[in-house]
Amino acid sequence: MRAGGDLRTGFAAWRLWGHLGWHDLKSRYRRSLLGPLWMTATMGLTTVSLGLLFSLLWHDPVSTFVPYIGTGLIVWSFISGCLIEGMDSFVASDELIKQTSAPLTVYVLRTVWRNTLSLAHNLIVYVILLVLFFGALHRPGYTMTGLPCPADGTIVCHPGLGWNTLLAIPGFLVLAAAGIAASLALGIVATRFRDAPQVVAALVQLLFVTIPITWPLDVLAQNAPGKVWMVELNPLFHFVQVVRQPLIGQRLDWWSWPVVGVLTAAAWATALLLLRRYRARVSYWI
């Protein structure tokens, strides 16, 4: 009951964690010329640089590959932020935890809200990419290779931008729910075991390499059709897909939705169990 009360009270205190998350973002870029827009500038520069380079390596058209890599990086920055910064949710708020009686959930929501604000700033890059390459992304049946869509299915074809783009909204809501649960669980573990952040950070870097963000999944599907399952075993792959694919009008395999649903439910079950057992000990571990 105390764990459930912590969650209810924490979500109800939206003014508190909303202010703390916004203050974190303002403090990070205080006295800078562009402020939080530096995130947008960095994301835009990274997208253009990697997009132009890897489009040459993979022989993909710039008009489709640059939005592909840009949206992938935007979604991944939110995921990695919730995982890596989530482990530091309680340790970074040690003074507040010692001096106030606010629910622990507040500090987790503070982290996820801060990363949501960062995502909102980075979406400016997506809007710019959408304006520049709308014609290529809106065309039904477009391919990442730029070749015509064949009838034999040897090249992956995408439906293009349309009403399916709205699926990115429920995709992000599920992603945010999973991010809250993961941040809560990892925050408790990292407070008890201070080596955990290094282990998780290394694991996140490894998972990034195996997710098709800087390389197109279509190439793997064409060159090694029987090996796509190796990528789909990565749990974070499906969270990227349910947000990115609708944003750029690409085909989304239906099984990604039940996968993210099961993973989100498992993350919440783990977080609730840890909160129930160790909620009272976090302040002592700090």
Residues near 220 by beta carbon (within 8 Å), at least 6 away in sequence? 212, 227, 228, 231
pLDDT per position as a tens digit, 238-256: 999 999 999 999 988 889 9
Distance in angstroms (rounded) separating the CA atoms of residues 67 and 61:
11
> Using N-to-C axis directions, what is the helix angle for 196-210 and 62-86, rounded to 10°?
160
For the stretch 169-216, pLDDT in tens is 999 999 999 999 999 999 999 999 988 889 999 999 988 988 889 888
pLDDT digits (tens, 9 = 90+) for 17-58: 999 999 888 888 777 777 778 888 999 999 999 999 988 888
Read off the pTM. 0.92
Q: Which amino acid is present at 246?
A: P
Instruction: Report the SS3 class of residue 38.
Output: helix
What is the rounded CA–CA span in Å between residue 214 and residue 284?
Answer: 42
How high is the pLDDT of residue 228?
Answer: 78
Q: Which amino acid is at 263?
A: L
Q: What confidence score (pLDDT) does residue 232 get?
A: 85
Residue 153: pLDDT band (50, 70, 90) is low
Residue 92, class by beta-carbon neighbours within 10 Å (0-12 exposed, 13-18 middle, 19+ buried)?
A: middle
- CA pair distance 135, 218, nearest whole angstrom: 20
**Which of 18-32, 76-90, 159-173, 270-284 shows the lowest mean pLDDT across its residues?**
18-32
Q: What is the chain's mean pLDDT, rounded?
A: 89
Phi, psi torsion values for 142, nearest 5 degrees:
-75, 155
Q: Please tell me the predicted confidence (pLDDT) of residue 30.
A: 77
Give the integer Cα–Cα distance in Å for 218 and 195.
Answer: 38
Q: Is the pLDDT of residue 77 over 80?
A: yes
pLDDT for res 143: 86
Residues 6+ apart with CB under 8 A from 272: 3
The candidate with the shortest Cα–Cα distance to 80, out of 181, 166, 205, 180, is 205
**What pLDDT is recorded for position 172?**
96
Could you give the CA distance from residue 19 to residue 15 in angstroms, rounded to a whole number? 6
